[in-house]
Structure 1
Amino acid sequence: MTHKDKIISVARETIEIESKAIANLVPLVNDEFAGAVEYIYQSKGRVIVTGIGKSANIATKIVATLNSTGTPAIFMHAADAIHGDLGTIQENDTVICISKSGNTPEIKVLVPLIQAAENKLIAITGNTDSFLAKEADYVLNAYVEKEACPNNLAPTTSTTAQLVIGDALAMCLLDLRGFSSKDFAKYHPGGALGKKLYLRVSNLTSLNEKPQVSPDTDVKKVIVEISEKMLGVTAVVEDEKIVGIITDGDLRRMLTKADSFNGLTAKDIMTENPKKIANNAMAVEAMDMMEKYGITQILAEEKGRYSGVVHIHNLTKEGII
């Protein structure tokens, strides 16, 4: 076996081990899991997620997922909690504690403190006979048969299982809350995904010049308009309505066909009934139309009146493409 073949073999084996472990979690989701989800959903407080070691790393990801899908959550490192950060937990907060073994020293110290404050405790653990599992109000079983590590030591499969249980928890809460794409956009306003959900055509047309000529505009002035507005296009407008479009491609084609453009006007070279989009449409709809028709600009209108141009560069700059 070559070095490359060995690498491919180990990688595939790792993925197979972890994928099987995830599949084995399906029958472990039970009434207790449902009870934990319902308790968090009905709770007036936040979700505090804690752990130690690699489980702490997983806890930070679960917190991020919960926050982004409508469930307020905070990460608290288990070691820091018993050295001053226990004040993170407030009345009505629910604590999720993640631990593969459920028997680490920090967990054994932390759990009684949580219980003393009368906060509900949810365990995500692969050991249902552990100290953590026995003391928790709800146990979410993240059992795995073995780690992907050949020595069965490095947390690999176990942390993947913890993450999947956390994702399942978050998605159940998302479903109960009726969390929509609009809600998602509200929590992700700066990302490309969020922009696809909230950015409108009007947000883009306002960034550009508004090139326009009338049907009777001399071709020389058409060229100047396209050049000055720097969008490679101009709308042909009559009584505020779009009647045609002229692109720089139209100008090039005109030059190859005509010996002279003296006397030519916009209506002689324009494309009638161009593709248009409503000014209040989503920007992603403009992108879809550009891809469908193989164009790089599209004219926008508001209540039947010309309102501007969306250029493919606008979509690229906003990260939508």
Structure 2
Amino acid sequence: MKLIKNIQSIAKDVIQQEAEALHKIVELIDDEFENCVYAILNSGGRVVISGVGKSAIVGQKIVATLNSTGTPALFMHAADAIHGDLGMIQTNDVVIVISKSGDTSEIKVLVPLLKRIGVTMIAMVSNRESYLAKNCKFILHAFAPREADPLNLAPTVSTSVTMALGDALAICLLEARGFTHDDFARFHPGGSLGKRLYLKICDIYPHNALPIVSETANLQEVILEMTSKRLGATAVNDVDGQMIGIITDGDLRRMLKEHQAIRILNLTAADIMTRSPISVSPDEYAVNALEIMQSRSITQVVVVEAGKVLGFVHLHDLLREGLV
């Protein structure tokens, strides 16, 4: 095997070339890009993306991003279009054709067929003077000065630029459509990502015990309640049933350290508790509760609504749900 002495410098050069190309296309985002966004928004149809080779692979990724951010999209391979796949296209669709050169044989066959259907066409192309660019209504200029390999052949810089341009298009459409957190959660229900987006406190706390003591409860009553409910904490209510504090294992340890044994026997829950404890509402997202626990170095939060204790959520609950 040939020993390569400059691997790190080669890798850094590739990334630098791609970074420079991405920086240059920032300057190419202009009214033309904006017109493409409005063309899609006003079409009433879907976005159909087509290409061949590496452009086809990048196109499939852009389709996935569009679909997950609220813009209906599908992929049609340029080579398969002439073998029946053109049937997926509707007249109100917008077709984005991806090609670095814009002059490949497959593109020159596809473009006239798309014109015959009458769809709006957008060229995502590096060469503005190409056949593709001259035959599309709009251009997304994915300019790539050269590829990163010494032969200037392997799609590297060009695919990075195209991918970034597709991401920019998708996010602009997301913003324009007013795509919300709840919309994103609806499209991503699976796995830990889905749970981070939709799982709420009200989905968790009903499965746990509800430890509560009165403010006049003695130490024995507090310990028995905490032990029997196995959450390492108990809420403390006043005579009106409103939560006024919480007692945790840590509170008990501090109490034992600070008071003499004879004094401990006379303590009540009100003497031990932490007043104004950290709480969450039942409609809060579980991932926000996790952030609270991590930032405050605590293992549980109490669920409260209108001053009433509804339950507890423990760090173990969030671990079990795969949020950690």
TM-score (structure 1 length as normaliser): 0.88
SS at match of 1:25: helix
1:274 alignment partner, one of 246, 260, 277 = 277
Q: Which residue of 1 aligns with 2:111?
A: 111
C-alpha distance in 2 between matches for 1:223 and 1:6: 66
Going from structure 1 to structure 2, the CA distance change for 1:159 and 1:222 (only over 3 Å counts) comes to same
Alignment of 1:1-321 (within 5 A): 6-190=6-190, 192=192, 195-238=195-238, 239-254=240-255, 259=261, 265-321=268-324
Out of 51-60 and 3-12, give the one that drifted further. Answer: 3-12
**Post-superposition CA distance 1:234-268 (Å, at most 9, x none):** 11223322122222233444556665876765345
Deviation at 1:5, TM superposition (A): 7.0
In 2: Cα distance, 1:292 partner to 1:165 partner: 36
Matched letter for residue 89 of structure 1: I
One-letter amino acid matched to 1:297 = Q
Q: Tell me how far 1:191 sits from its aligned partner.
A: 5.7
TM-score by length of 2: 0.87
% same residue: 50
Q: Greater CA deviation, 55-64 or 271-280?
A: 271-280
Contact 1:254 1:269 in 2 (8 A): yes
Matched residue type, 2:203: N
Counterpart-to-counterpart distance in 1, 2:166 and 2:306: 47
3-state secondary structure, aligned to 2:303: strand
Aligned residue for 1:231, secondary structure, equals coil
Decide whether aligned partners of structure 1 residues 223 and 49 sit closer, same or farther in structure 2, where only a CA change above 3 A counts.
same
In the aligned structure 1, how far is the partner of 2:301 from the partner of 2:177?
38
Cα separation, partners in 2 of 1:266 and 1:4, compared to 1, 3 Å: farther
* 8 Å CA contact 1:36, 1:138 repeated in 2: yes
Question: How big is the alpha-carbon RMSD for the aligned residues of Structure 1 and Structure 2?
Answer: 2.6
For residue 246 of structure 1, give the secondary structure of its aligned residue in structure 2: strand
The total of aligned residue pairs comes to: 319
For 1:259 and 1:94, the matched residues in 2 are separated by 79
Deviations 1:288-320 (A, max 9, x none): 433343211111211111111122233344444
Unaligned runs of 5+ in 1: none
For residues 137 and 216 of structure 1, do their structure 2 counterparts lie closer, same or farther at Cα, with a shift above 3 Å needed?
same
| Separation of aligned partners in 2, 1:107 and 1:227 | 72
Distance 1:224 1:76, change over 3 A: farther
Give the direction of change, closer, same or farther, for the CA distance of 1:190–1:240 in structure 2 (3 Å limit).
Answer: farther
Note if contact 1:101-1:125 (Cα within 8 Å) is conserved in structure 2: yes
**Are 1:279 and 1:300, in contact at CA under 8 Å, matched by a contact in 2?**
yes
Query: Shift of residue 75 of structure 1?
Result: 1.4
- Secondary structure (helix, strand or coil) at the match of 1:152 reads coil
Cα distance in 2 for partners of 1:278, 1:185 equals 20
Secondary structure of 1:146's aligned partner: coil
Structure 2, unaligned runs of 5 or more: none
Letter in 2 for 1:139: I
Give the 3 Å change call, closer, same or farther, for CA 320–104 of structure 1 in structure 2. same
**How many Å separate the matches in 1 of 2:205 and 2:216?**
25
**TM-superposed deviation, 1:156:** 0.3
- C-alpha change, 1:121 and 1:224, in structure 2 (3 Å) is same
What letter matches 1:302 in structure 2?
A: E
CA distance in 2, matches of 1:189, 1:131: 42
Structure 1 pair 176/267, CA: closer, same or farther in 2 (3 Å)?
closer
Q: Could you say what secondary structure the match of 2:76 adopts?
A: strand
Distance 2:34 2:254 in 1: 66
C-alpha displacement of 1:193 = 5.3
